[in-house]
Each structure stands twice: as structure tokens, then as C-alpha cells.
């Protein structure tokens, strides 16, 4: 990453001499935010002298970047930890250090640091800059077994400006433009694992895109938990940022993920319509088509408002397509509520939908509700 292009990022080439020759393997679960974060992690560690490898058996350090959005995602990681230990024991090549990053680090630090998991490092989403220091402690004495190092929480003035290591495998790249979420949908654990919304500086975002183009990239996907809620100040919201990114020479296409229905204002859709580089694909999770359920999910829009938004987009954006996420079996969802969702899906005619069975997340507000739709019924609705 060129330092001159990213003036407000700490230079990474001076962090540590590349003499220890340790190899790092990163495995990523969950959403594109995590894919991006894994590139950030690799960037931080490369600057500290680690070499990325794609074979975990060849690694001195294994990091698993995790997701907590549903229980199933967490179970997968817990069993993967055991599997990796077994594979390494069989190969007589135990990794020196095994660490957990991402949302599970935030939500399950107590569980993960229990002795039976034998985890050395638990690092939350705002703390990847701490990795070299924490690892120095873990690698300090090969004979000793230091206690797990833990770095989690959201109390600092974090603006999430760490640059990713760009490993172009194609010409399409992710650019996270903010972190966290200020919506508090009742089913969702993300506001607690990723903290409040905090914007990356517009200058950093534009420089990151320019740097991608310099390296041969032609496409970017702007990322955020609610990318359309980006707001730097009264002058610059997501629509304004999109226009500025679209002005960058050498860029062919811009996508963005994920939109929130409440932020799909007409002026944003007008920009999407006007800017040729912006792909007219809108991923705007509806979650339900029943007003009763939407209210209890605290989504802050009604079914008819979503439908009006779709209608506006179809009138103004040529070739626009919609995709969405839905949750079935939210606590208290009746057959009539579910039928409303089905009729809503039929009405909108989404290009793609991703549907999930409700999964109770300890700590999310809906965990206080009775998870009363049976597993079989959730399966049927799915």
C-alpha cells in the first residue's frame, strides 16, 4: 500500500523488522465485512514480518475470523477449532499460536478463554492493530504457556482506518466505509459485537479506491453493516460519497452492501440512476412482510413503505434489481404473519432472497421473547 496515497494512515512498513520468519494462516467465516477485515489483519501482520500461507499445517500462527450472527455460525467455528487441533496433532505440527478474531471474540471471550479450547489469543473487531504486540508476548518464550491474550471492546476513539493488504485475485475489491451499527433490530447481535456506527474518513475511502485502481482493480464494493446510513457530516451522506467515488478515473463499477430500507431516500436512488458506474443492484433486507413482525423486530418501516421504495426505484433506475434477506420464525410470528411475508415476496419479485431461520442470540433484545415457533415449523417456513 502506497503511503503517499493514504496520508492519514499510520505507516506500516516501519512497525517491525521482518526477521522472525513466522507464517500466518487466516480462515474467514461470515460476511464480506469479515473478508475485508481478514485482509486488514494480513496487512497488519505482513508489516510486522509475518508471511501469509494458505496451508494451516505450514503456519506458526492460525487466526480464525468468526461470525456470531446465528448460532450455527458459532458452532461451526467451535468444531473447526477442535478439528484443526486434531489435524495438527496427527501431523505432529502443533501451531505455536491459535487465535480467534471477529464477532465471536467480542461475544464469547469468557467461553473461548476456557482451558479446554486452548485458545491463545482473542482479538475483537476494533483491535487488529494490537495483534503484533499481543503476538510478541505469545511468541516470547517457546517453553512457557502464557495465559490467553484478550483485546476486545469498543471504548476507544476508533475510526477503523487500518488499510487492508490487497491481494488482487481478480479486479474486484471490497472497501469497508464504516463499522458497527446504530440500528438495534431486536434479533441482531451485531450492534453489540461490532459496536456503534463509526465512519471511515471520506478521504481515506477515496484514497483506498485510488490505491486499488493503481494495483489493477476496476471494481469496488463499498461495505458497511448499513452502508446506506453512511453520514460524515451535514454535507456528505452516502449519496454524496457514491458520487465522489464514481468520479474516480479508472474505476468501471461500484456496488454496495448492505442497504437499510429506511435509508433508501429518493435522492440516493436518483444518484444510483444518474451514475453509470453504480450497479443498479440493491440488496435491501426486508426481514419480513408483516407489519406486526417488523414492529417487533424494530425495523422502523412498514410493508407499504418498502413497496413504495421499490416502486420509486423501478420508475427511476433503469434495469434495477432487488435482493433481500428474510428471517422466518421470529418469536410470535403467526401463520398469518408468515403468509404476509410470502405475499410480500411475490409482490416485489426479488431477484434473489437469502432466508434464515430465526436463531436466538443471547444478549440481543429478542432473546427476552419466547422463541415459540418450533424448529420443524421454522424449517417448513424456510
Residues forming the site for ligand SF4 (CB under 6 A): 181, 183-185, 188, 190-191, 225-226, 260
Q: Would you state the torsion angle of the CA atoms of residues 211, 216, 217, 218, taken in this order, to the nearest 10 degrees? A: 120
**Residue 291 vs 325, nearer CB to ligand SF4:** 325
Planar angle of CA 317, 222, 187, nearest 5 degrees: 90
Binding mask 57-96 for ligand 5AD (x = CB under 6 A): ------------xx--------------------------
Q: Which does residue 183 bind out of ligand 5AD, ligand SF4, none, counting CB within 5 to 8 angstroms by kind?
A: ligand SF4
Contact of 248 with 206, CB cutoff 8 Å: yes
User: Considering beta carbons, is residue 43 or 261 the nearer one to ligand SF4?
Assistant: 261
Interaction partner, residue 226 (ligand 5AD, ligand SF4, none; CB < 5-8 Å by kind): ligand SF4
Nearer to ligand SF4 among residue 52 and residue 365 (C-beta): 365
The residues facing 221 across adjacent strands are 174, 255
Q: Which of residues 329-358 bind ligand 5AD (CB under 6 A)?
A: 356, 358
Residue 74 has a CB neighbour count (10 Å cut-off) of 22
How would you classify the pairing of strands 198-199 and 178-179? antiparallel
Q: Which residue in the block uniquely carries the three cell numbers 426505484?
A: 313
CB-closest chain residue to ligand 5AD: 325
Give CA–CA dist 382/23, Å, rounded.
42
Residue of 260, 361, 378, 381 interacting with ligand 5AD (CB under 6 A) = 361
Q: Which is nearer to ligand 5AD, 25 or 358 (CB)?
A: 358
Could you say which of ligand SF4, ligand 5AD, none residue 100 binds, taking C-beta under 5 to 8 angstroms by partner kind? Answer: none
Site for ligand 5AD in 180-209 (CB under 6 A): 187-188
Distances (CA, A) of 152 to 89, 191, 195, 204, 331: 29, 14, 11, 24, 30
CA torsion 174-177-178-183 (nearest 10°) is: -90
Q: From CA 294, how far away is CA 31, in angstroms rounded? A: 23
CB nearer to ligand 5AD: pick between 119 and 188: 188
Shortest separation between residue 298's beta carbon and ligand 5AD, angstroms: 12
* Least distance to ligand SF4, CB of residue 46, Å: 30
User: Which of 358, 286, 292 lies closest to 325 in space, CA to CA?
Assistant: 286
Binding-residue total with ligand 5AD (CB under 6 A): 12
- Measured from the CB atom, the residue of 184 and 315 that comes closer to ligand SF4 is 184
Distance CA 104, CA 122 (A): 9
Q: Residues interacting with ligand 5AD, by CB under 6 A?
A: 69-70, 187-188, 285, 287, 325, 327, 356, 358-359, 361
Amino acid at each position: 500500500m502506497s503511503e503517499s496515497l493514504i496520508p492519514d494512515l499510520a505507516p506500516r512498513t516501519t512497525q517491525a523488522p521482518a526477521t522472525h520468519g513466522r507464517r500466518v494462516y487466516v480462515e474467514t467465516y461470515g460476511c464480506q465485512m469479515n473478508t475485508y477485515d481478514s485482509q486488514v489483519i494480513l496487512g497488519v501482520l505482513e508489516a510486522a514480518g509475518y508471511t501469509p500461507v494458505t496451508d494451516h499445517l505450514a503456519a506458526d500462527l492460525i487466526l480464525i475470523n468468526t461470525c456470531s450472527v446465528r448460532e450455527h455460525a458459532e458452532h461451526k467455528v467451535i468444531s473447526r477449532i477442535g478439528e484443526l487441533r486434531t489435524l495438527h496433532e496427527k501431523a505432529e505440527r502443533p501451531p505455536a499460536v491459535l487465535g480467534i478474531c471477529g464477532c465471536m471474540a467480542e461475544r464469547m471471550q469468557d467461553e473461548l478463554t476456557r482451558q479446554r479450547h486452548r485458545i491463545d489469543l482473542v482479538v475483537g473487531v476494533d483491535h487488529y492493530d494490537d495483534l503484533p504486540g499481543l503476538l510478541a508476548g505469545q511468541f516470547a518464550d517457546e517453553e512457557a504457556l502464557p495465559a490467553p491474550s484478550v483485546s476486545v471492546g469498543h471504548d476507544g476513539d476508533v475510526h477503523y482506518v487500518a488499510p487492508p493488504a490487497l491481494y488482487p485475485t481478480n479486479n474486484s475489491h471490497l472497501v469497508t466505509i464504516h463499522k458497527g451499527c446504530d440500528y438495534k433490530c431486536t434479533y441482531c447481535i451485531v450492534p453489540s459485537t461490532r459496536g456503534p456506527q463509526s465512519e471511515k474518513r471520506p478521504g481515506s475511502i477515496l484514497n483506498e479506491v485510488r490505491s486499488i485502481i493503481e494495483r489493477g482493480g476496476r471494481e469496488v464494493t463499498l461495505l458497511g453493516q448499513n452502508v446506506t446510513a453512511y453520514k460524515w457530516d451535514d454535507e456528505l451522506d452516502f449519496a454524496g460519497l457514491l458520487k465522489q467515488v464514481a468520479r474516480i478515473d479508472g474505476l468501471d463499477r461500484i456496488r454496495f452492501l448492505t442497504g437499510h430500507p429506511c435509508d433508501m431516500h429518493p435522492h440516493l436512488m436518483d444518484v444510483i440512476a444518474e451514475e453509470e458506474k453504480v450497479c443498479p443492484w440493491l440488496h435491501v433486507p426486508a426481514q419480513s412482510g408483516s407489519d406486526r413482525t417488523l414492529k417487533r423486530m424494530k425495523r422502523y418501516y412498514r410493508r407499504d413503505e418498502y413497496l413504495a421504495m421499490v416502486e420509486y426505484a423501478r420508475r427511476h433506475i433503469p434495469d434495477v434489481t432487488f435482493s433481500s434477506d428474510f428471517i422466518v420464525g421470529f418469536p410470535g410470528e403467526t401463520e398469518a404473519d408468515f403468509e404476509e411475508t410470502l405475499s410480500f415476496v411475490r409482490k416485489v419479485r426479488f431477484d434473489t432472497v437469502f432466508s434464515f431461520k430465526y436463531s436466538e442470540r443471547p444478549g440481543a433484545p429478542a432473546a427476552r421473547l419466547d422463541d415459540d415457533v418450533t424448529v420443524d415449523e421454522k424449517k417448513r417456513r424456510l
